[in-house]
Amino acid sequence: MSAPRWDGLLLDARLATLREELGAYGAIADGAIGWKDGVIAFAGRRDELPGDPATLATTVESAGGRWLTPALVDCHTHLVFAGDRAPEFERRLQGVSYETIAREGGGILSTVRATRAADEEALLAAALPRALALRADGVATVEIKSGYGLDFDSERKMLRVARRVGAETGLDVRTTYLAAHALPPEYAGRADDYIAAAIEWLPRLHGEGLVDAVDAFCEGIGFSPAQTRRLFDAARALGLPVKLHADQLSDLGGGGIVADYAGLSADHIEWTNGEAVTAMARAGTVAVLLPGAFHVLRETKLPPLDALRAHGVAMAVATDLNPGTAPLQSLRLAMALACTHFRLTPEEALRGATVHAAAALGLRDRGRLALGQRADIAEWSIAHPAELCYWLGGSLLHTLRLRGTPPPPL
């Protein structure tokens, strides 16, 4: 008897493949999925299997009629930080604006003080429960930004911890250098000098294998378009892709800036104008919607959703997990908020947290259940894929497979 072709095979599954040629959700009612060496080798109808299931794979299991989707991808988080900002949440509920709190020395800078004071072990201990909460919600890939250090040693510490989060949890962690997140107090009034320092640190951190992409906060309380472009020029010289906190609080043309650099994504984009949307469409830049921050800040200015759809700009959905404006540890809840606040359909939200989120990280090897994709598979106890956005909270995940294997308990 010949050796089995595959490492694992799941039968009796309903597949939401997200393959567009298969219609809504790319659904397959009586499906099967097999994998070899962590890569999907078959995803289709059970009656299309190329042989007896018992001879096809080393391990054959039944999904019991449950729905399988690609594992989720959280493409925008600030998961590594120390402390919290619950008192600021109370102040905002009393009518104090986010911008006012930031200008008073709160906001990002309060988290910077706490993060600088914490060592690597303390940061890791704080970050792991957040990462595990995302994993328990079906996430297999997560982006983690720096940006609460704002000096070389602290930015390096954050990025090192981000890599360790991946090693400890089995999640595929993509790191983003966000030193241009806020102006640290020691550089008060010298933003250009700080950008020069951030540019100097970048090749050193990249050389240590700690940086997968470069981001900036282009905003009135952040950095100017010119300063953002200086940083992006440095990233491009190193061959690093860029993404941008763009047009969250005002229209500084951030969507157009990141498109000029063929950037991976423009994130937030509540104030992005039509010209920038057109530029994003030409560049293939993904629009990352962050409804958690929109919800917590009680914003009313919607992203240009009709324009994004009209121009075919891919829309991703992410948590923006951070201690200030989006203390959100559930990508499923972010999907639900995207449906409620931004009127995405549940299918758009699911695609936004899988295939489009992967594209926002420059990853084309995940996000669909299809031949050759990573065998990152989420198995759900639901009767219809729309339930992933319908239920607010609760545990719907039955099994998560990372490259075909359930992650280690922690």
C-alpha 136/C-alpha 244 separation (Å) is 28
Q: Is 111 annotated as a binding residue?
A: no
Is 322 marked within a binding site? yes
Sign of the torsion angle spanned by Cα atoms 81, 321, 410, 168: negative
Report the DSSP beta bridge partners of residue 399.
379
Q: How far apart are CA 238 and CA 242, in angstroms?
A: 11
Please tell me whether 78 is known to bind a ligand: yes
Q: How many helices (H) and strands (E) does the chain have?
A: 16, 15
Among 392, 388, 346, 362, which Cα is nearest to 75's?
362
* Residue 324 assigned ligand-binding role: yes
Q: Does 273 appear as a known binding residue?
A: no
What's the residue count for the chain? 410
Instruction: Kindly give the residue spans of alpha helices, DSSP state H, lying in 170-218.
Output: 191-207
Say if residue 251 carries a ligand binding annotation: no
> CA 364 to CA 175: how far, in whole Å?
17
**181 assigned ligand-binding residue:** yes
Q: How many of the other CB atoms lie within 10 Å of CB of 51?
A: 10
Residue 295 annotated in ligand binding: no
Say if residue 311 carries a ligand binding annotation: no
String of DSSP letters for 121-179: HHHHHHHHHHHHHHHHTTEEEEEEE--S--SHHHHHHHHHHHHHHHHHH--EEEEEEEE
Of 240, 116, 287, 238, which Cα lies nearest the Cα of 185? 116
Cα atoms in the 13 Å half-sphere on the side-chain side of 37: 3
Residue positions in the annotated binding site for N-formimidoyl-L-glutamate? 148, 322, 324
Residue stretches of the annotated binding site for 4-imidazolone-5-propanoate? 85, 148, 181, 248, 325
Q: Report the binding-site residues for Zn(2+).
A: 76, 78, 245, 320
* Binding region for Fe(3+): 76, 78, 245, 320
Q: Which residues are annotated as a binding site?
A: 76, 78, 85, 148, 181, 245, 248, 320, 322, 324-325
